[in-house]
Amino acid sequence: MIVKILLFINLILCGLSFAQDKLEDSASQKKLTVVAVGEAGVLKEGLLIELQDIKQTSLLAPVRDVIASDFAFYKKKFDTRTGNISGSSLANLESLKNKNLNYYLNLDLIKQNDVNRVSYKLISTATEQVLLQGVEDLKKSSMRNTGHVIANAVFQNITGKKSIFLTNIVFVSDMGSTSKKTVKELYVMDFDGHNAKRLTQHHGIVISPSLSSDNKKIVYSLISNTNIRNRNVDLFLYDMNTGTSKLISSQKGLNSGAVFWHEDKEILLTLSHVGNAEIFSMNLETKELRRITNNYAPDVDASTTPDGKLMTFLSGRPGRAEIYLMDPSGMEKDVRRISYVGDFNATPRFSPDGKEIVFSSWMDNAFDLFRISSEGRGLARLTKNFGSNEDPSYSNDGQFIVFTSQRVISRSKAVWNLYTIDRDGEFIGQLTQNYGNCTSPRWSN
């Protein structure tokens, strides 16, 4: 009996091994070959912006131009045209389609209760469907805002993503300084450089501002000009709603480089009262401090991912300034270095998706912008031969980077202005001009 069982098992085993071979053979004979075609080219969306009536030009052209200049930021995605390509007719959508214009935006002037308003209509030339329509106020004072609102609505409808058109940029300018006294105050402007206005009046030197995630609060540091003997770097919190500032930290030494964290309930900041610049977290309610870095070398410039789980900072641990990552929920938790080159790296800032870090690095007698993935791969240079480029900040959608760049005008004079590039280093435009030396730009969320 045992013999029979054994023999049977043997037979099964042999049979199985043969069967396996056969299966594999038949599979391999009918092999299909996959040929990779590669990444697709980019098809730009063609958008025609047109006024309903040529007589409305004086009133509506400014709005149209704002929309066009907004879309010009996304020049890699959109081919925006204005004017009378279609001869101002909605009936001629077929001809627009042939000109690679997939979208048609019509602006019309209407009167509601004797008030001029602008009505807009977005039409897909392929389906001839009205994708979007609405009415906006048309006031001289808020003309640009009207344009941004319409542009944002159109952009969101076409791409399904948020645009930068309603964002602001907070920055520091030394406008109003005299040769004896340098004054740097906090300013805010539209993302395209218009509508700049001053926020603070400390008559001191404002440095390193940072916006909260709801854009309602700004935390910044101030070097006071009033107390010359004992100049400390103190930390202030500005409230956008009330327009007031209040002191939140004045430890001895540095109280700077603060960023919001944990749904704006806490901040991460650099303090040097322990004898050496270290990163701490501070609860804005209780002012309770918790130490995050602990090293004999200075650790500064914290920046976090939106979820707050990862923090990048600058550390002098290797003997020169290099970029590190860590988990800010503990002290010295999961610290790892991600940059290994560069004579002096500065201001690492996370992209909104937390996948990239942009920073400036000293190279060829100037700072230039570089980008690296948060795993420390794919180091890429973004700027070159463009003055000294510093203090980068990502836009809310991660597609653009605003930074400050110094142009040397003469032996004794150089000027700082704000510029925008896209995330691949393509130049977009200059934002400030004749507005003093503009530095420390921060893009709102």
Q: Please name every residue paired with 282 in a beta bridge, in sequence order, or none if there are none.
A: 267, 289
Binding to another protein by residue 378, rule CB under 8 A? yes
Are 173 and 187 in contact by the 8 Å Cβ rule? The answer is yes
Binding to another protein by residue 341, rule CB under 8 A? yes
> 50 in the Ramachandran plot: left (φ > 0), alpha (ψ -120 to 50) or beta?
beta
Degrees to nearest 5, angle at CA 402 with 362 and 224: 75
Q: Which two tokens stand for residue 161?
A: 């993503």
Which positions from 54 to 93 touch another protein by CB under 8 A, shown as an x/- string?
----------------------xx----------------
Minimal distance, residue 361 CB to another protein, in Å: 6
Are 299 and 325 in contact by the 8 Å Cβ rule? The answer is no
Binding to another protein by residue 393, rule CB under 8 A? no
Using the rule CB under 8 A, give the single segment among 24-32, 188-196, 202-210, 273-281 that binds another protein.
24-32
Taking each helix axis from N to C end, the angle separating 143-159 and 57-73, rounded to the nearest 10 degrees, works out to: 50
Binding to another protein by residue 26, rule CB under 8 A? no
Long-range contacts: 247-253, Cβ < 8 Å, 24+?
A: 248/219, 248/282, 248/284, 248/287, 249/282, 249/287
Binding to another protein by residue 382, rule CB under 8 A? yes
Binding to another protein by residue 1, rule CB under 8 A? no
Binding to another protein by residue 14, rule CB under 8 A? yes
Binding to another protein by residue 424, rule CB under 8 A? yes
Among residues 22, 26, 32, 409, which is the contact residue for another protein, using CB under 8 A? 32
Binding to another protein by residue 43, rule CB under 8 A? yes
Minimal distance, residue 76 CB to another protein, in Å: 7
Degrees to nearest 5, angle at CA 102 with 101 and 104: 80
Closest CA to 121 of 69, 47, 44: 47
Q: Which two tokens stand for residue 310?
A: 């990862």
Binding to another protein by residue 31, rule CB under 8 A? yes
Residues in the chain: 445
Minimal distance, residue 403 CB to another protein, in Å: 14
Among residues 24, 94, 239, 334, which is the contact residue for another protein, using CB under 8 A? 24
Binding to another protein by residue 38, rule CB under 8 A? yes
Sign of CA dihedral 371, 314, 257, 206: negative
Binding to another protein by residue 403, rule CB under 8 A? no
Query: CA 9, CA 398: separation in Å to the nearest integer?
Result: 64
**167-182 burial string, b = 16+ CB within 10 Å, else e?**
bbbbbbbbbeeeeeee
Binding to another protein by residue 292, rule CB under 8 A? no
Using the rule CB under 8 A, give the single segment among 39-47, 84-92, 273-281, 287-295 that binds another protein.
39-47
Minimal distance, residue 188 CB to another protein, in Å: 30
Binding to another protein by residue 40, rule CB under 8 A? yes
Among residues 51, 122, 153, 158, which is the contact residue for another protein, using CB under 8 A? 158
Query: CA 72, CA 93: separation in Å to the nearest integer?
Result: 23
Binding to another protein by residue 376, rule CB under 8 A? yes
Cβ distance to another protein smaller for residue 138 or 154: 154
Return the residue matching tokens 């070097």.
223
Binding to another protein by residue 156, rule CB under 8 A? no
Give residues in contact with another protein (CB under 8 A).
2-3, 6-7, 9-10, 13-14, 24-25, 28-29, 31-45, 76-77, 158-161, 339-342, 361, 363, 370-372, 375-384, 424-426
